[in-house]
Structure 1
Amino acid sequence: MSQCDGADFCEEIAGAADTSFHRFYEGDPPHRRAWSTANFEVLADMSPLVTGHLLLLPRKHYLSFAQVLGDHPGETEELLSDISDRYRRTFGEPLVLEHGSGTDEHTHACITHAHLHLLPADGTAVDELLIRDELLYVDLESITQLGDAPWPESAYFLRHHLGRSRVYMPNGNQRRQYLRSVVATTLDIPDPEWDYAVVVRKDCLRRTMEMVESWS
């Protein structure tokens, strides 16, 4: 586990009042927490692509969920199954994605605090686009295998859908927010409106928070 170094996620989880979310949404809604456990948080994405765009992240600072799974394999697998069930009942089948940050290289992950994206998107369509971009991949027998070498030290793209996990290897040609841009293509969101700084979709976050109100 590495030092947090002021990552906004870390500050928000710790209860800080002056965060990007509070400054941008100005109390409407008052928070973006959908669900929490002793070791994990589920937050609405601050700049969602669609209603139902959630983030699952550990309370402690890790660079990737490969590192999280190395320390907490059983708890993480059980939690992901539980949150997927809740998600499915509320938004439909979740597509789970992550750009895991490596420990010894510069990556194009936009936030280095480990986080999984959950979206109501088509996993097969995302696979087709990643393969089109000539990314090599490995299919995992279970999500817990992500905690095995070399993934905790490596940059990677995780796709988890319908209980099946696949890890894609970046080839150096991916732009920043690459996975957002890929999902946006499957959702017919034009370039560059997938960029979290270009279009924020506040109404999608507010609708998401209304729909997860029963989770807590």
Structure 2
Amino acid sequence: MAELRRLPATTSTSTGECVFCAIGTGQAPAAFVHEDDDFVAIVDLRPVTTGHLLVLPRAHHADLASLPSAAGERMFAIAQQLAAALRRTDLKCEGINLFLADGKAAGQEIPHVHLHVIPRFAGDGFVLDADWRVRSREELVEVAAKVRAAL
């Protein structure tokens, strides 16, 4: 059964360069499905399901906070196009998850922001397990106030 946690990834090349930067510049191999001046999309080397893709900015941004908002918009637009394309293939795809791990505690293994586009189907074994219980209205209001204050 696939889980969110995976084996440690290779985060850098033999020269110490970020592996996703090396892919973006053509210095490391990858199976490309999209390329433009600012982004590439590749087939994940260790897919959750067949067709699992990664959308990567060519420029190095370690995390979501360092990614300019216009680039974030573009990254999600590319992911949306790829999700539609996956549904048009003969790959098993009954649904799509978009997943972005931001920071080590969230499961980000390579410190270069990237968006996963994961084809999903019944019985694929991929699970996100958490404490999904309903929270009190008071707790929700308190959390909302803290986030609004930080904006």
Work out whether the TM-score is over 0.5.
Answer: yes
Partner of 2:77: 78
Counterparts of 1:15-94 in structure 2, within 5 Å, are 15-16=26-27, 19=28, 22=29, 31-68=30-67, 70-90=69-89, 91=91, 92=93, 93-94=95-96
In structure 2, the residue corresponding to 1:43 is in which secondary structure? Answer: strand
Counterparts of 1:1-216 in structure 2, within 5 Å, are 6-16=17-27, 19=28, 22=29, 31-68=30-67, 70-90=69-89, 91=91, 92=93, 93-101=95-103, 108-121=107-120, 126=127, 129-132=129-132
In 2: Cα distance, 1:100 partner to 1:46 partner: 19
| Structure 2: gaps (5+ residues) | 1-11, 134-139, 141-148
1:51 to 1:150, Cα distance in 2 relative to 1, 3 A: farther
Higher helix share: 1
Q: Does the CA contact (< 8 Å) of 1:54 and 1:117 recur in 2?
A: yes
1:74 to 1:7, Cα distance in 2 relative to 1, 3 A: closer
Cα distance, 1:58 vs structure 2: 0.7
Cα distance, 1:35 vs structure 2: 1.4
1:66 to 1:94, Cα distance in 2 relative to 1, 3 A: farther
1:116-166 residue CA offsets vs partner (Å, 9 max, x unmatched):
1111226xx845x23359xxxx9xxxxxxxxxx969xxxxxxxxxxxxxxx
Cα distance, 1:109 vs structure 2: 2.0
Letter paired with 2:101: H
Cα distance, 1:98 vs structure 2: 1.4
Q: Does the CA contact (< 8 Å) of 1:69 and 1:76 recur in 2?
A: no
1:77 to 1:70, Cα distance in 2 relative to 1, 3 A: same
Q: What is the root-mean-square deviation in Å for CA atoms of aligned residues?
A: 3.5
Cα distance, 1:79 vs structure 2: 2.4
Instruction: Kindly tell me the number of residue pairs found equivalent between the two proteins.
Output: 117
In 2: Cα distance, 1:60 partner to 1:74 partner: 15
Cα distance, 1:66 vs structure 2: 4.8
1:107 to 1:97, Cα distance in 2 relative to 1, 3 A: closer
In structure 1, the residue corresponding to 2:131 is in which secondary structure? Answer: helix
| Structure 1: gaps (5+ residues) | 23-30, 139-148, 152-216
1:53-81 residue CA offsets vs partner (Å, 9 max, x unmatched):
11111111112345435243543343232
In 1: Cα distance, 2:68 partner to 2:150 partner: 13
1:113 to 1:74, Cα distance in 2 relative to 1, 3 A: closer
In 1: Cα distance, 2:47 partner to 2:97 partner: 14
TM-score calculated relative to the size of structure 2: 0.60
